[in-house]
C-alpha cells in the first residue's frame, strides 16, 4: 500500500539526531527520503553505539527506509547536481549551523528560485535569527537554555538533563509538523516556504504550564522529583517491593482513591478537600498513601488501583517495555534488516493511521548505496521520481 506521503520526495542533508528523526517520520509514512552524506564517512551517527554485528543500531533506528547518496558539497559538480534534483523535490531538510547552506549555494533563496514549490526546513540550536543565532548547540545546551534542566531532578541537587534527548526530539517533531503545515499551504497557494525550527524554542514550547506559572504568578518552578507542581497525589510512591506512579488530578479521582484505600475520611480532611489544598499538603498525603501501599507489591497495588479506575502504572525500564505484550501489539518495536540481511529491532512509529498506516523501512542504507542512481543524466520527465 502506498503510504500517505508516497508522492513526496525529500532531500535530507541532516545528520545525527534532530534532522534524521524528522525525516524518518516522513519516510515511515511513505516519503522518498534521499539522504545526502559525506563521501567515505557519511553521517556521524554511523559510528554511534550501540552496535549490532558491527552496525550502528542508533543509525539504523533513524535512517531505516531512506536512500543514501554520497556527494562532496564542496564540489561544483555536486552542487549543480543537487540544484537539478531540487526541480523535482518537494522538501529539503538540513541541520547545519545557520549560514552553511547559503555559503554552499544551497540556501532557501537559491533553491526556491529554482523550485518555488520547495518546502525548506532548517533545524538549529537557536534558530536562523536572534542574538544567539551563531551559537553551537547540542541537546544538553537546548535543555539548559530552554528551561527544562532547571526544573528536572530533586530539590537540593544539581540540575538534571531529562533521560532522553528532548531538545533534538522536540525540534524534530515540530519540524515535521511545520513541513506538513507548509505542504498543506502549498496545496492552496502553489508556493513552498521556509520552516525555521530551533531546539531551544522547542524546549520552551514544551514547558507548558511551567511558563504560565511565571507569567501569571511570577513563580519560578524548581525541581520537584516525580511529583506534579500543581496537582496531588501525582507522584512516585513506594510499595513493599518497588515503586509505582499514581496520577490523581481532580476531586472525583481522589474520592475513588480514598475508596480504594478504605480511607473515605481522607476526602473530608480539610487538608485534602481540593486539588490546590492537596498540592499544598502533598508530603502528609504521600505518607498516608505509602503507609497503605506498604501492604502491597507493585503488581498487587496496580491491579487494585486499576480496578477502581485510578491512573497508575509500574515504572518500566527498557527490558520491561521489550517484554510487554502491549508494546508489540502496538508495533512500537519492529524488525528491520540490518547488515547482510540480519534482523535488527528498532522503535516503531507512534502515529497509527487507519487507511495508510506507517510502513517502517525494511532496510538500512549502506553508505552511498544509491549514489549511482542520482548521477544518471537528467531526463525530460524529471530526475528523482523516475530514478529511485
Active site amino acids: 228
Within 13 Å of residue 268, how many CA atoms lie on the same side as its CB? 3
Sign of the alpha-carbon torsion through 178, 179, 180, 181: positive
Judge residue 14's burial from the number of C-beta atoms within 10 Å of its C-beta, 0-12 exposed, 13-18 middle, 19 or more buried.
buried
For strands 243-247 and 312-314, give the pairing: antiparallel
Handedness of CA 156, 161, 314, 281 (dihedral sign): positive
Sign of the CA dihedral running 370, 371, 372, 377: positive
Is residue 97 within 8 A of residue 134, CB to CB? The reply is: yes
Query: What number of other Cβ atoms are within 10 A of residue 112's Cβ?
Result: 19
Q: For the beta carbon of residue 291, count every other beta carbon within 10 angstroms.
A: 11
User: Which triple of cell numbers denotes residue 158?
Assistant: 544539581
Residue (of 233, 231, 227, 224) closest to 288 by Cα position: 233
172 contacts: CB under 8 Å, gap ≥ 6: 17, 18, 19, 21, 22, 25, 123
- Cα–Cα dist 377/200, whole Å: 42
Q: 3-state DSSP helix/strand/coil percent for the chain, to nearest 5?
A: 40, 15, 45
Amino acid at each position: 500500500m502506498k503510504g500517505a506521503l508516497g508522492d513526496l520526495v525529500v532531500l535530507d542533508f541532516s545528520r545525527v539526531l534532530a534532522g534524521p528523526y524528522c525525516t524518518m517520520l516522513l519516510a515511515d509514512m511513505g516519503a522518498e527520503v534521499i539522504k545526502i552524506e559525506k563521501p567515505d564517512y557519511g553521517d556521524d551517527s554511523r559510528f554511534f553505539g550501540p552496535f549490532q554485528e558491527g552496525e550502528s543500531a542508533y543509525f539504523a533506528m533513524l535512517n531505516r527506509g531512506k536512500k543514501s547518496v554520497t556527494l562532496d558539497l564542496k564540489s561544483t559538480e555536486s552542487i549543480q547536481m543537487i540544484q537539478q534534483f531540487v526541480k523535482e523535490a518537494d522538501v529539503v531538510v538540513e541541520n547545519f549551523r545557520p549560514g552553511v547552506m547559503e555559503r554552499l549555494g544551497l540556501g532557501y533563496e537559491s533553491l526556491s528560485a529554482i523550485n518555488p514549490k520547495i518546502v525548506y526546513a532548517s533545524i538549529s540550536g537557536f534558530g536562523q535569527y536572534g542574538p544567539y543565532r551563531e551559537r553551537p548547540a547540542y541537546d544538553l545546551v537546548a535543555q539548559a537554555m530552554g528551561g527544562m534542566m532547571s526544573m528536572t531532578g530533586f530539590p537540593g541537587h544539581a540540575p538534571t538533563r531529562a533521560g532522553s534527548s528532548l531538545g533534538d526530539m522536540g525540534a524534530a517533531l515540530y519540524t515535521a509538523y511545520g513541513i506538513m503545515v507548509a505542504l498543506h499551504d502549498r496545496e492552496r497557494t502553489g508556493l513552498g516556504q521556509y520552516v525555521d525550527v530551533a531546539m531551544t524554542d522547542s524546549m520552551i514550547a514544551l514547558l507548558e504550564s511551567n511558563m504560565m506559572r511565571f507569567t501569571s504568578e511570577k513563580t519560578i518552578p524548581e525541581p520537584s522529583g516525580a511529583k506534579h507542581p500543581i496537582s496531588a497525589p501525582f507522584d512516585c510512591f513506594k510499595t513493599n517491593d518497588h515503586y509505582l506512579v499514581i496520577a490523581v488530578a481532580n476531586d472525583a479521582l481522589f474520592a475513588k482513591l480514598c475508596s480504594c484505600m478504605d480511607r473515605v475520611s481522607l476526602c473530608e480532611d480539610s487538608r485534602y478537600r481540593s486539588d490546590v489544598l492537596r498540592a499544598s499538603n502533598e508530603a502528609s498525603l504521600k505518607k498516608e498513601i505509602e503507609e497503605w501501599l506498604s501492604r502491597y507489591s507493585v503488581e498487587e497495588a496496580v491491579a487494585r488501583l486499576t480496578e477502581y479506575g485510578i491512573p497508575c502504572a509500574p515504572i518500566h525500564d527498557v527490558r520491561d517495555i521489550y517484554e510487554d505484550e502491549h508494546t508489540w501489539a502496538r508495533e512500537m518495536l519492529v524488525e528491520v534488516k540490518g547488515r547482510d540481511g540480519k534482523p535488527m529491532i528498532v522503535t516503531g512509529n507512534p502515529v497509527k493511521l487507519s487507511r495508510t498506516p506507517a510502513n517502517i523501512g525494511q532496510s538500512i542504507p549502506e553508505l552511498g548505496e544509491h549514489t549511482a542512481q542520482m548521477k544518471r543524466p537528467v531526463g525530460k520527465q524529471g530526475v528523482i521520481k523516475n530514478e529511485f
